């Protein structure tokens, strides 16, 4: 009996068997019969869960992208994809004097010209699906109504559960504008420099953020819609509650 026949015989396609995934794996590997190490790995990946159902627990080394309705690893992506951590500026914490002002007509915060003391305070907790050790990309969505560009800054500190909270904040400035302004009220995106995440490995890491405008260039208030962070994900969540 060939190794492929042996693999196929292990899964009889009953109601509790993950045959479709196995078939896809076999079809994706036409040289399986001559690659004994791969096929043996596939055989060893066929396991029973606590209820006695068979599932495929594919070793990371031979995964590409897989999805199991049940099993220990519901979703694992070898290559991370980007997602958004969102902070709509309708549910932030404004300063003690409730500044910046809120625009109840066009909805958003009005960051004033030449007043860096009007600060928005944000706390981010990264989701379990974040890919460990990867960098993040914060940015702002705002309404640009003339050719002059405002200067937004954030002060941040990023730390993990079980670590001491840092005392100092790091300041970065947004300067990369996504679109060229021509006329009217343009929904613009301006990005901050990428933040190094190579030291952040755990789940639910915390980031404290102070967001403000610091310029005397763009005239008047700037209507700001949302601050958010692009970050990479490689799973639907974590296998365990506090461990990836």
Band of residue 138 on the pLDDT scale cut at 50, 70, 90: very high
**Does 92 lie in the same domain as 157?**
yes
| Same structural domain, 172 and 94 | yes
Query: pLDDT by residue (tens digit) across 10-20?
Result: 544 444 445 55
> Per residue in 26-81, pLDDT tens?
545 554 544 545 555 556 666 666 666 656 665 544 444 444 445 555 555 566 55
What is the average per-residue pLDDT within 136-141? 96
| Residue 135 DSSP one-character state | -
Last residue of a domain, one of 32, 49, 73: 73
Using a 10 angstrom Cβ sphere, with 0-12 exposed, 13-18 middle and 19 or more buried, the burial of residue 136 is: buried
Q: How many domains does the chain have?
A: 2
Q: What is the pLDDT of residue 115?
A: 95
Establish if 240 belongs to a structural domain.
no
Pair (60, 176) in one structural domain: no
* 49 and 88 assigned to the same domain: no
**pLDDT value of position 209:** 94
Residues 96 and 126 in one domain: yes
CATH code, domain carrying 136: 2.60.120.260
Give the residue, 242 or 125, on which the prediction is more confident: 125
Both structure tokens of 53: 């159902």
Higher pLDDT, 55 or 162: 162
pLDDT at res. 234: 84
Answer yes or no: do 87 and 130 share one domain: yes
**Boundary (domain end) residue, out of 54, 73, 92:** 73
193 and 172 within one domain? yes
**Tally of CB atoms within 10 A around 160:** 14
Whether residues 68 and 107 share a domain: the answer is: no
Q: So what's the pLDDT on residue 119?
A: 92
Among the candidates 55, 73, 91, a domain finishes at 73
**53 in the same domain as 34:** yes
Judgement on whether residues 86 and 57 belong to the same structural domain of the protein: no
- Residues whose CB falls within 8 Å of the CB of residue 39, separated by 6 or more in sequence, listed in order: 3, 4, 7, 32, 33
What's the mean per-residue pLDDT of the chain? 78
Task: Show the domain range for 42.
Answer: 3-73
Mean pLDDT, rounded, for 222-233:
93
25 pLDDT above the threshold of 80: no
pLDDT of residue 238: 77
In sign, the C-alpha dihedral spanning 131, 136, 140, 141 is: negative
- Residues 164 and 88 both lie in one domain: yes
Same domain, 110 and 201: yes
Report the pLDDT value the prediction gives residue 39, as an integer from 0 to 100. 55
């Amino acid at each position: 009996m060939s190794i492929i026949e042996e693999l196929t015989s292990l899964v009889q396609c009953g109601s509790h068997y993950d045959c479709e995934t196995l078939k896809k794996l076999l079809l994706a590997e036409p040289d399986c019969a001559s690659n004994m190490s791969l096929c043996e790995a596939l055989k060893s990946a066929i396991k029973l869960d606590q209820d006695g159902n068979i599932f495929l627990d594919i070793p990371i080394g031979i995964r590409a992208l897989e999805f199991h309705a049940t099993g220990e690893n519901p979703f694992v992506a070898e290559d991370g994809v980007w997602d958004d951590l969102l902070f709509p500026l309708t549910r932030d914490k404004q300063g003690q004097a409730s500044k910046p002002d809120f625009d109840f007509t066009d909805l958003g915060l009005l960051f004033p010209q030449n007043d860096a003391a009007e600060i928005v305070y944000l706390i981010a907790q990264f989701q379990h699906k974040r890919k460990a050790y990867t960098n993040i990309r914060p940015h702002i969505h705002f309404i640009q109504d003339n050719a002059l560009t405002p200067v937004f800054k954030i002060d941040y500190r990023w730390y993990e559960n079980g670590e001491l909270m840092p005392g100092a904040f790091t300041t970065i400035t947004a300067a990369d504008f996504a679109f060229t302004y021509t006329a009217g009220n343009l929904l613009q995106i301006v990005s901050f420099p990428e933040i190094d995440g190579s030291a952040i490995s755990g789940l639910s890491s915390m980031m404290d953020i102070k967001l403000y405008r610091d310029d005397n260039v763009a005239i008047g208030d700037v209507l700001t819609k949302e601050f958010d962070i692009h970050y990479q994900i490689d799973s639907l969540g974590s296998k365990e509650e506090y461990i990836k």
